[in-house]
Amino acid sequence: MWSLPASDVVLYGLSLVALTAQAMTAALAAGKRSMDWAGVCMLGCITALGGGTIRDVLLGHYPLVWVQHPSYLLLTAGAALATILIARVVHRLNTAFLVLDAIGLVVFTMAGCDVAWQIDPSLPLVIVVVAGMITGCAGGVLRDILCNDVPLLFRAELYASVSIVTGLFYSTGFGLKLNDELWTALTF
Amino acid sequence: MWSLPASDVVLYGLSLVALTAQAMTAALAAGKRSMDWAGVCMLGCITALGGGTIRDVLLGHYPLVWVQHPSYLLLTAGAALATILIARVVHRLNTAFLVLDAIGLVVFTMAGCDVAWQIDPSLPLVIVVVAGMITGCAGGVLRDILCNDVPLLFRAELYASVSIVTGLFYSTGFGLKLNDELWTALTF
Amino acid sequence: MWSLPASDVVLYGLSLVALTAQAMTAALAAGKRSMDWAGVCMLGCITALGGGTIRDVLLGHYPLVWVQHPSYLLLTAGAALATILIARVVHRLNTAFLVLDAIGLVVFTMAGCDVAWQIDPSLPLVIVVVAGMITGCAGGVLRDILCNDVPLLFRAELYASVSIVTGLFYSTGFGLKLNDELWTALTF
């Protein structure tokens, strides 16, 4: 499926950035509710890895990513803790933060489509796009449920739309067997 | 198991009605919280398909129904959107709505018992009834969690009772290998 | 793995106590929100069995415990109902209650580590500890979500810390293949 391994490496690097960014949004949300350090770590892990976990459970794709690579748990917990420590600086970096969050959403959606395709290439397009959307959005929904909010996803049209468009665009590229690297770049 | 296919067709038709009805309850709940169109679609899908999804994940029954039949996703999303458009009329149709909701609960419970039986006919009766109850009730619970309410299920005795009684009644019928069609009719 | 069966029996007995204790905490929480008897039963089952269920779903370990042993459902539902009946007495027994809850947390964490180990002895230590933590904590988190609270887990440092320390301590014991019975006793 991957004719150009470069695209794979880029996607892997981006997904580490996305994991970190999602854990940071969780830490900021947790900070507003005066959770302790353990709560921040857990909420960071759940937010960053929850989307992929729900996708894998729904598609029956075992073992889960973080069971195979426990380092992801440490990365996200570490990112969440670090965010608490530098919280004052981050508050001033709101714009950079929104950019990171958007990258996270797009990358997660692409990774979700990828995984769905690898599990079963004959899955219909709708399911691949939904798998991407779940990966991108479910982590944030879990974070909002645990923080006792109505999920942002359901109130901000932008999130879901971006995720669906990304998924459609990326999947179409795969469907047409275009040059992957070019397509990954275009999706942004 | 199905001696008379007529019962199967009736149950299938009823479950489409039930899916639509559950998606409509979700849309009405979403409307009260000023969610956007994407949120309404998603909440409709989650409410209508969530019960069956949780049942299948708990019983390890893959692939999930909506992965095999993506048209269910489109049906529920469409029903949720249509409800928003005709919301003014629906508000006056509260009685018809409660009837639809009750049909949804009963049909989902029967379908849940059915599926549990098909997975493993040796499952104990308690589990079959619980599987039916999860199918019937869990979608509404997810809807209430996402809308940040204490689930209606836990406050309204009626829901759970109806679901348990339906499950028991329907399962007993299967256990005694009675005429299915007659029994499905009787369960109402 | 179990050189001394006595430890197994002790752990089994303790886990029944833990199930009962967790169902009782759920019933007390439900009582404060004026849920009906069906809600109390369901919340009791979800709180007591939810942690193990989530662990098994995440690790792909089927069938679930309560599908194999439906008597657990009856035990927890019964415990929750009984708690409502004797609620006045229990309110005065707050200390005994906290002790039971702590036992529940420790026992569930140990049982969770155990199960993770039995599924795949080559799982890394981090995952075993996380599996124990999920078993011990997730039930209470589900209870708080359904009661529309920010989960206690994320606000009370103590819970998570106790669970992690227990898991680490217990897992290390297994890793070194020490005398199990002695180690189970030491973990308290």
Question: Domain spans of chain B?
Answer: 5-187
Q: Which of C59, C141, C150 lies closest to A33 in CB terms? A: C150
Q: Which of B126, B150, B164 lies closest to C33 in CB terms? A: B150
Confidence at residue A71, expressed as pLDDT on a 0 to 100 scale: 84
Query: Cβ contacts of residue C113 below 8 Å, gap of 6+?
Result: C128, C129, C131, C132, C167, C170, C171, C174
Would you place residue C171 in the very low, low, confident or very high pLDDT band (cuts 50, 70, 90)? Answer: low
Higher pLDDT: A124 or A79? It is A79
For the cut 70, the answer to whether the pLDDT of residue B113 exceeds it is: yes
Higher pLDDT: C6 or A29? It is A29
For the cut 80, the answer to whether the pLDDT of residue C72 exceeds it is: yes
Higher pLDDT: B39 or B53? It is B53
Higher pLDDT: A160 or B35? It is B35
* Residues in B touching C53 (Cβ below 8 Å): 58
pLDDT by residue (tens digit) across C18-52?
888 888 877 777 766 667 777 788 888 888 888 88
Q: Nearest CA to C55 among B128, A132, A53?
A: A53
State whether residue C29 sits within 8 Å of chain B by CB.
no
Confidence at residue C162, expressed as pLDDT on a 0 to 100 scale: 63
Name the residue in chain A with its Cα closest to that of C126.
A70
State whether residue B148 sits within 8 Å of chain A by CB.
yes
Please state, rounded to an integer, the average pLDDT across all residues of chain B: 71
Percent of chain B whose pLDDT exceeds 70: 64
Please state, rounded to an integer, the average pLDDT across all residues of chain A: 72
Q: Nearest CA to A128 among A174, A97, A78, A76?
A: A174
Percent of chain C whose pLDDT exceeds 70: 64
Confidence at residue A139, expressed as pLDDT on a 0 to 100 scale: 80
* Residues in A touching C126 (Cβ below 8 Å): 70, 73-74
Confidence at residue A164, expressed as pLDDT on a 0 to 100 scale: 65
Query: Cβ contacts of residue A45 below 8 Å, gap of 6+?
Result: A23, A66, A73, A76, A77, A80
**Residue A178 Cα, gap to closest chain C Cα (Å):** 35
Q: Are C115 and C131 in contact (CB under 8 A)?
A: yes
Would you place residue C93 in the very low, low, confident or very high pLDDT band (cuts 50, 70, 90)? Answer: low
Confidence at residue C148, expressed as pLDDT on a 0 to 100 scale: 75
Would you place residue A180 in the very low, low, confident or very high pLDDT band (cuts 50, 70, 90)? Answer: very low
Mean pLDDT of A126-155: 76
Q: Are C72 and C22 in contact (CB under 8 A)?
A: no
Distance of alpha carbon A184 from alpha carbon A171, whole angstroms: 10
Confidence at residue B180, expressed as pLDDT on a 0 to 100 scale: 45
Query: Cβ contacts of residue C18 below 8 Å, gap of 6+?
Result: C103, C104, C105, C107, C108, C111
For the cut 80, the answer to whether the pLDDT of residue A78 exceeds it is: yes
Instruction: Report the alpha-carbon angle B19-B22-B24, nearest 5.
Output: 110
State whether residue C147 sits within 8 Å of chain B by CB.
yes
State whether residue B156 sits within 8 Å of chain C by CB.
yes
Distance of alpha carbon C109 from alpha carbon C167, whole angstroms: 6
DSSP C137: H
Higher pLDDT: B103 or C161? It is B103
Name the residue in chain B with its Cα closest to that of C35.
B155
Mean pLDDT of C113-127: 77
Distance of alpha carbon A49 from alpha carbon C40, whole angstroms: 32
State whether residue C126 sits within 8 Å of chain A by CB.
yes
